Chain A
């Protein structure tokens, strides 16, 4: 790749927080570096994976609406978290986390446990308690 061809396809995935350092050759064929705001095939690959997870989360949300799963199950899916990872973070058994993914047990949780879940999921406790629009 030539330096002038370092792609600048900004899809806002880096949120303006940084740019990606790329290696490329200059006009004399010597290696140098340049910054990239993104590249279309790469942006699309990440977006594709994010969409895939969102779609899975939407399916869980339908189950939440039908009263079959709890909001915890939905928020975990949104954060690509499976039962064993959440159990690890919460220092609970997988069985307990699985229970909390059902409405009956989740609704009975004390505030402190809900707050701990929320912190790990990077959301407000209220968000974990409220069905999204």
Chain B
């Protein structure tokens, strides 16, 4: 059994699952729109949380939030369920498919057989759509993959019940009660407002542009405090988060710039095009940062100036992003 589901590759898994599921229900939104309406862009730097032995940083909101917010801002109800029993989770999946519902699943990538091996870390917030079943195999639309893929029942069970941080617990979701009409303008405004606020107004130093400045400050100290080896590992970890599969490049900044162009058309505010251009330039700066950082971890450069020039770029980025989001907040 195979549902008539269109696989569209996207930069990020959750955007892709959201956009493709909504399209199936007749709401034609593309990845940048879902990302913007779902207020996916963010920055956080959490030095006290270690991920793979390096301080945690993120260029987007918490897993699950994009779809939740996008649906909310568009007035769509979603069904979402976690499971204790793996058997029940698999039965419910089969039932949904029999009813003709493609569903989104949260999975871990460590056991995801079709994924490139070097990327199979213990990352549990990956998303995919199941759109059918043939014999023992599920038909998968994984939005970061160029083509559709398959998983056996045993493989599927394993990825749905991966362990560790953000363990998916079989999580399954799909839209219900999709309205005939929806207010795209309001949804876009709400999405922009949320992102602009989160990037500029959270009064703790770990988030938004404050978080970028905090990271810059720490980077200047890493070499002295932790030694060459750890400092290089920490920098590599930031760049990985920024450029990993699923960001669309430059830590989602290009994706957000694409959204601002869409928003300019929908809201008919020409200045959003100008802000999109500025956001693209910030994205280019993020890439310069990655390049500067890579000189340290790639060439094993021990010159302390390298850390400073990487940090200087972040200070510049924070200033520019603050300007863009402050302006956005006034515009919508």
| A binding-site residues for B, Cβ under 8 Å | 1, 6, 13-15, 17-25, 29-31, 33, 35-36, 39-42, 44-46, 48-50, 52-53, 79-81, 85, 88-89, 122
Name the contact of A15 in the complex, choosing from B117, B232, B237 (C-beta under 8 A): B117
Which residue of chain B lies nearest to A17 when distances are taken between CB atoms in the complex?
B116
> Mask for B291-307, Cβ within 8 A of A = 1, else 0?
10110011000000000
A22 touches B11 (CB 8 A): yes
A42 touches B250 (CB 8 A): no
29 A-B contacts, Cβ less than 8 Å apart? A1-B287, A14-B119, A17-B114, A17-B116, A21-B9, A21-B11, A22-B248, A22-B254, A23-B11, A24-B249, A31-B32, A31-B257, A31-B276, A35-B146, A36-B249, A39-B290, A40-B294, A41-B293, A41-B298, A42-B243, A44-B236, A44-B294, A45-B294, A46-B240, A48-B297, A52-B53, A53-B52, A80-B122, A85-B164
Residue among A1, A25, A33, A45 facing the most chain B CB atoms (10 A cut-off) = A45
- What residues on A are CB-neighbors of B326 within 8 Å? none
B294 touches A23 (CB 8 A): no
**Secondary structure at chain A's binding surface: helix, strand, loop or mixed?**
mixed
A49 touches B254 (CB 8 A): no
Name the contact of A18 in the complex, choosing from B145, B167, B258 (C-beta under 8 A): B145
Q: A15-B117, A88-B163, A89-B163 are in contact. Are A1 and B243 (CB under 8 A)?
A: no
Q: A23-B32, A29-B277, A49-B236 are in contact. Are A39 and B298 (CB under 8 A)?
A: no
| B binding-site residues for A, Cβ under 8 Å | 9-11, 32, 52-53, 110-111, 114-119, 121-122, 144-147, 163-164, 167, 232-233, 236-237, 239-240, 243-245, 248-250, 254-255, 257-258, 261, 276-277, 280, 283-284, 287, 290-291, 293-294, 297-298
